[in-house]
Amino acid sequence: MNMKVMHMKWIGMVAVMALSLQLNAQGLEESFDASCACWTVTNHFDNGQISSVHHENEQRIKDGEAITYSPEGKKLRVEQWSNGKLDGTTVHYHPTGEIYLEAHYEKGRKKGTWTFLDVDGTPSQEITYTGNGADGVYGLYSAGVKYVEQTVEGGKVVDTRVIHKELYDAVREEASQTSK
């Protein structure tokens, strides 16, 4: 490639990096930041409120923080991305703003303990993932008290351990009544 063509490509690339690209189709805004060689992508609801913001690397792959909002502007989810894969802690929120779930990912795989919380902060479920799909130990709660744990391997329950028999029986009875 001759020097003049390379010089023209370089000038074109610098011009693209220096400009902020604003796309207003369906509330979408994109801007490139040459200092980090990254894109910020912002989407809006019809009412103008931001619905989501995330970052992408030069190759347009999600990389960095991503936030999703309700139409009222409340955070619903905050995720961490690395080269197109969830990596780190993702926090989901109840519509009222309290934490609903703290989830952990390692290079796109579910990993570690995920705790699901009711609006008042009491646990309703806890899953400890092994990093192999849905495999892990699932703990179920009622009114904040763990009553059963189930181990899942290869997508199948391989072990059930009742922790609180009286509560376990009461929950099963209630479930049978509501399914009739």
**3-state DSSP call for residue 176?**
helix
Instruction: Please tell me the predicted confidence (pLDDT) of residue 179.
Output: 72
pLDDT of residue 20: 35
The 10 Å Cβ neighbour count of residue 54 is: 18
What is the enclosing helix (H) or strand (E) of 31? strand 28-33
Query: Is the separation of the CB atoms in 110 and 118 below 8 Å?
Result: no
Which pLDDT score is estimated for 148? 97
pTM of the model: 0.76
Of 20, 64, 28, the closest CA to residue 45 belongs to 28
pLDDT along the chain (180 residues), means of 10: 45 39 61 90 94 95 96 95 97 96 96 96 96 95 96 96 95 86
Single-letter amino acid, residue 102: E
Please give the pLDDT value at position 26: 53
Closest CA to 117 of 134, 131, 97: 97
